[in-house]
Amino acid sequence: MSSPEKKSIVIIGAGPGGLASAILLAHRGFRVRVVERLPVVGGRTSSLQAGPYTFDLGPTFFLYPQVLQKILAEVGRDLHREVDLRRLDPQYRILFGEGGQVDATPDPERMKREIARLAPEDADGFERFMSENRRKLATFAPVLESPFSGWSDLLNPRLFDALPQLNPHQSVDTYLRKFFKDPRIRLSFCFQSKYLGMSPFRCPSLFSILSFLEYEHGVFHPIGGCAAISQALARIAREMGVEIHLGEPVESLRFQGRKATGVVTPKGTYGCDGLVINADFARAMTSLVPDALRRKWSDRKIAAKKFSCSTFMIYLGIEGKYDLPHHSIFISENYEENLAEIDHRHVLSKRPSFYVQNASVTDPTLAPPGGSTLYILAPVTHDTGSIDWRTEAGPFRDMLIKRLALAGFSGVEERIRYERVITPADWDSQYNIHRGATFNLAHSLDQMLHLRPRNRFEDLEGVYLVGGGTHPGSGLPVIFESARITADLMTSDYGAPLPSTASLQTAAA
Ligand SMILES: Cc1cc2nc3c(=O)[nH]c(=O)nc-3n(C[C@H](O)[C@H](O)[C@H](O)COP(=O)(O)OP(=O)(O)OC[C@H]3O[C@@H](n4cnc5c(N)ncnc54)[C@H](O)[C@@H]3O)c2cc1C
């Protein structure tokens, strides 16, 4: 094996997964170039800059910073020095269309009182939920940290130990019945499945660890928004010698047989020994890799996969401020119907659930003095062709703005000084996201672990995946985990020495 210094890696996409893997690979002696189609870093975790207003394009909840902290520690950096992280309390307010609200707090005694206000007999379930999920996370963390490159991984003793807790066919809502009787309290602990673009009534029960993570380890707001994390990663990567080429879409790939040998952009060709794809998996495959080269992930097979929901977005620059929580989640009066409209009927809801980020209450850097920003997200169907967004976007936006009053944001229309809307069709066309499915392939059990596109991509040689489209899945903590898994696989495949500070988890797996 030749010296690892000579191995050249190209990463398609400067999303959080691409940037974190760039940092790890550079630290392990590879020459790394990141090629990004947009003029900014961060992908879905970038910011929208509109005059004096700054918005996060996508993520607004930063959970479980420990994964990124560990990655940065390997390269001698401290996450908390690079990004100003603020833990939120309350973490968020959940408002129920059928009445009542919960201010979710990491303080166990206050949280029990919050639950008791709505459902006195459910208050004791909180501690039982926390201790059972503490055990569940401890069991599953090694599973999520493994690369899952084949059926044989299912024989992994760690997964065998975890199986009894997996309850594969139980939804997270059903699982929560053993702790909470009131459906509103259950929703407070399972709406997080929407972070994966899934319904809590279908999302596997394993994902109860999402709400557990919030209470146990915190919900954070990075000052400047979640995009500040991407910007910090890009800064560190550049300081480590990574070249980041912005505004250069990869238009095609070069192959020798099944081995990827380079990428082609309008500015030229970048040859490589190894290729990492951070771009949206389904879009990258169907547009960059000839169908004939793919066996398991052919166009036909990708078309048959289940995709996550999409999101309808409104970003508002506001005159004045709302003295309301940083995060508010309004759950539809008829949540199950709302979910069916998103997941099965692929139509727009008349009474949609929505989420509002009112970040200026925590972060003065996002708006001019005396102003604030509102970020409104409504989960909607991914693009199936059933909705013509050119005609539907306007009325849907008007209805959502009116519904904001249900979460206490009244009189918004008169106070708007800047506005931008992003529809599922825009996610698809402007952000290159297949069907506008903002959270990638759905996280159903038949599309997880080794059944998700693998970090060492099985259909090609010298091609690796990183980000929400591969194992373990969508959401920043697991995207950073995918960066570590992929970097470990490449380090081992190319014979590069693992630095003494590296985790060695995957290489040893
Ligand atoms: C609206 C929304 C809200 C979300 N909220 C949260 C949240 O609160 N918390 C959380 O943890 N997660 C959240 N997520 C999910 C997830 O964390 C983000 O989507 C994350 O940015 C995905 O990271 P990634 O590395 O997979 O890729 P991306 O961020 O999608 O980056 C991929 C990059 O590849 C580039 N690219 C694509 N095609 C090409 C090409 N041909 N050539 C060159 N470059 C290309 C893209 O421009 C992009 O920059 C949210 C997502 C969305 C969309």
Name the 3-class secondary structure at 98.
coil
What percent of the chain has a predicted confidence (pLDDT) above 70? 91
Instruction: Tell me the average pLDDT across 355-366.
Output: 98
pLDDT tens for 177-198 read 999 999 999 999 998 887 777 7
Q: How far apart are CA 101 and CA 185, in angstroms?
A: 10
Is there a contact between 465 and 481 (Cβ–Cβ < 8 Å)? no
Instruction: Tell me the average pLDDT across 345-364.
Output: 97
- Per residue, the 3-state secondary structure of 382-407, as one string, reads CCCCCCCHHHHHHHHHHHHHHHHHHH
Lowest mean pLDDT among 20-34, 136-150, 284-298: 136-150
Place of tokens 């139980």: 170
| CA-248 nearest atom, ligand 1 | 43
Cα-to-chain-centroid distance, residue 496: 29
Using the mean position of ligand 1's atoms as its centre, give its distance from the Cα of residue 279 in Å: 8
Q: Is the pLDDT of residue 77 over 90?
A: yes
Instruction: Tell me the average pLDDT across 52-79.
Output: 96
List all residues whose CB is within 6 A of at least one atom of ligand 1: 12-18, 35-38, 43-45, 58-61, 195, 249-250, 278-280, 311, 377, 432, 438-439, 467-468, 474-476, 479
Sheet holding 85-87, edge to edge: 62-63, 219-222, 85-87
Mean per-residue pLDDT over the chain, rounded: 91
Q: Is the pLDDT of residue 478 over 80?
A: yes
Q: Is the pLDDT of residue 135 over 50?
A: yes
Lowest mean pLDDT among 12-26, 108-122, 150-164, 211-225: 150-164
H/E segment holding residue 270: strand 268-271
**Which residues, 6+ apart, have CB-to-CB distance to 414 below 8 Å?**
none
Name the 3-class secondary structure at 350.
coil
Distances (CA, A) of 99 to 94, 184, 259, 340: 11, 9, 57, 21
Domains assigned to the chain: 4-85+224-304+442-508 (3.50.50.60), 89-217 (no CATH), 309-436 (no CATH)
Instruction: Tell me the average pLDDT across 16-44.
Output: 97
Comparing 208 with 358, the larger pLDDT belongs to 358
Radius of gyration for the alpha carbons in the chain, expressed in angstroms and rounded? 22
Q: Whose CA is nearest to atom 12 of ligand 1?
A: 475
Per-residue confidence at 260, pLDDT binned at 50, 70, 90?
Answer: very high
Q: Which of 51-55, 163-167, 306-310 has the highest mean pLDDT?
A: 51-55
At 4 the pLDDT is: 44
Q: pTM for this structure?
A: 0.93
Q: How far apart are CA 270 and CA 286, in angstroms?
A: 21
Is there a contact between 500 and 472 (Cβ–Cβ < 8 Å)? no
Per-residue confidence at 507, pLDDT binned at 50, 70, 90?
Answer: very low
Instruction: Tell me the average pLDDT across 430-455.
Output: 85
Using the mean position of ligand 1's atoms as its centre, give its distance from the Cα of residue 490 in Å: 22
Instruction: Tell me the average pLDDT across 105-127.
Output: 96
Q: How far apart are CA 114 and CA 103, in angstroms?
A: 7
Using the mean position of ligand 1's atoms as its centre, give its distance from the Cα of residue 475 in Å: 9
Distances (CA, A) of 276 to 57, 253, 259, 273, 358: 24, 12, 12, 10, 36
Handedness of CA 71, 76, 82, 85 (dihedral sign): positive
Lowest mean pLDDT among 49-58, 320-329, 448-457: 448-457
